Amino acid sequence: MLNVQQSEAFPRKQPRNHQSRSINRSERYQGIEQRAKSMGLELTEERLEAIDFVLDFYAHCEDCRNARQLMKVMDQEFTDKGGKKYLYRLFPAGPLSQIHELTNLPDLGHQTDQGFGTSY
């Protein structure tokens, strides 16, 4: 499991060998633009930076289905820009939900909490 307390623990580590979950970025980016248009999102440099971060996470993580863990790591990575608040401005329907929909990644465990109406 990814240790968020270690400085620079992610995404600068060596990629793990996830053959069953291999991510081909060039193939992903072909569909990202189409899905962004259908969602009404403009792919700005800031949004692409967040998308790239999530794709890097999938290339380096051991437990990719932990939404809370990924949100903590993203909050730390984008702290200088405003953290979670910044990410929610970029992706109003929830950063993880929208990024996963854009990149066609599998849904995360507890990505949405129906009891409280929270969407990561």
Residue scoring higher pLDDT (41 or 19): 41
Count Cβ atoms within 10 A of the Cβ of residue 80 and give its class: 0-12 exposed, 13-18 middle, 19 or more buried: exposed
Residue 109 has pLDDT above 60, yes or no: yes
On the question of pLDDT at 2 being above 50, the answer is no
Would you say residue 86 has pLDDT above 90?
Answer: yes
Mean pLDDT across the chain: 77
Report the run of H or E that residue 119 belongs to, with start and end.
Answer: strand 118-119
Q: What is the DSSP string of 71-116?
A: HHHHHHHTGGGTHHHHHHHHSTT-HHHHHHHHHTPPPPBTSEETTT
pLDDT digits (tens, 9 = 90+) for 37-72: 998 899 999 999 999 999 888 877 766 777 888 889
